[in-house]
Homo-oligomer: A and B are copies of this chain.
Amino acid sequence: MTTRITELFSIDHPVIQGGMVWVSGWKLASAVSNAGALGLIGAGSMKIDLLREHLQKTKSATSKPFGVNIPLLRGDIDELINVILDEQVKIIFTSAGHPGRHIEKFKKAGCTVIHVIANVKQALKAEEVGCDAIVAEGFEAGGHNGLDEITTLALIPQVVDAVKIPVAAAGGIADGRGMLAAFALGAEGVQIGTRFAATVESSAHEIYKQKIVDARDSDTIITYHNILPVRAVKNPFMEQVQKEEIKKGMTRERMMELHAKGRERKGIYEGNWEEGEMEMGQSSGLVHDIIPAGDVVQRMMQEFEEAKRKILHTRP
């Protein structure tokens, strides 16, 4: 399939794997890229040296295009960027911050830059500073989430109407039906998180992967509203945070006390059900098995075609 997203990255399928903390290492990224989609290294949970190792291993494991996701809020962001450019990575996804400060450096190095946004204002800003494309991510997505709580279905058409650069849709998509829905709204690609987190090549803990499979439609919640919203599965820790938040509200200081102490690592990487944050999206209710990442890509494309054939049968 050819869209501006497949052309931008020289990939076969308009599917981008999310660069998720504690999940998206070289194994996952290279498996996805080898399947003809776009694999991403999730730099968010990696120290500088570990990131370099993962970039090098990805290059050994695939000759196809791959990219890296970097959260711009990181304290060591300049060092992080230097490693990425030094390792000649040409596709950079930026999130959690403003890409404007760094874009000249990226462009000089010949990189394609995609920024993750969660409202129309951010989309316009990303286009204005020179991003090549955007990922528009809705409220249903796992992990860190926009403050405005705009859902993918409401967000995509409004973003597509506002910008000229291509848009990939993220949040709530785990199969070919969701992918077709995103295309109906005007997206030219999709970014998939949760479905890829529950794959053989995901570096997450087996318990976390199984919790994605077990999760149903109502099993994720947002906490830290109005500060730095995070979506994760309801577990003892998240329920405790939610209870406190409903009763007393939440301050930034209290959030840092609760969230910032390695909760993501504990949940996702160590599989600690009681005390960790197991980030996943509402699409976890659509994930019923742990399979190889390449099979996810293949299955999604088949389902997309099936869903398209069905739509054709609805005639006026």
Contact = CB atoms under 8 A, between A and B. Distances in A.
A3 B2 CA distance: 31
A151 B282 contact: yes
Contact of A181 (B3, B184, B250, B314): B184
A120 B219 CA distance: 11
A218 B183 contact: no
A56 interface: no
Contacts of A216: 120, 158
Q: How large is the interface on A (under 10, 10 to 19, 20 to 34, 35 or more residues)?
A: 35 or more
A257 to B, nearest CB: 17
Most-contacted residue by chain B among A1, A120, A316 (CB, 10 A): A316
Contacts of A247: 249
B218 A282 contact: no
A183 B151 contact: no
A14 to B, nearest CB: 8
A154 interface: yes
A217 B184 contact: no
Given A119-B218, A120-B217, A158-B286, A184 B249 contact: no
Contacts of A315: 1-2
Interface of A: 1-3, 119-121, 138-140, 148-155, 157-158, 171-173, 175, 177-178, 180-186, 216-218, 221-222, 225-226, 245-250, 281-283, 285-286, 301, 305, 307-308, 311-312, 314-316
Given A119-B218, A153-B173, 18 more contacts: A2-B315, A119-B217, A120-B218, A138-B151, A139-B139, A139-B140, A148-B217, A150-B282, A151-B171, A151-B172, A153-B172, A155-B217, A157-B177, A157-B178, A181-B184, A184-B311, A225-B225, A247-B249
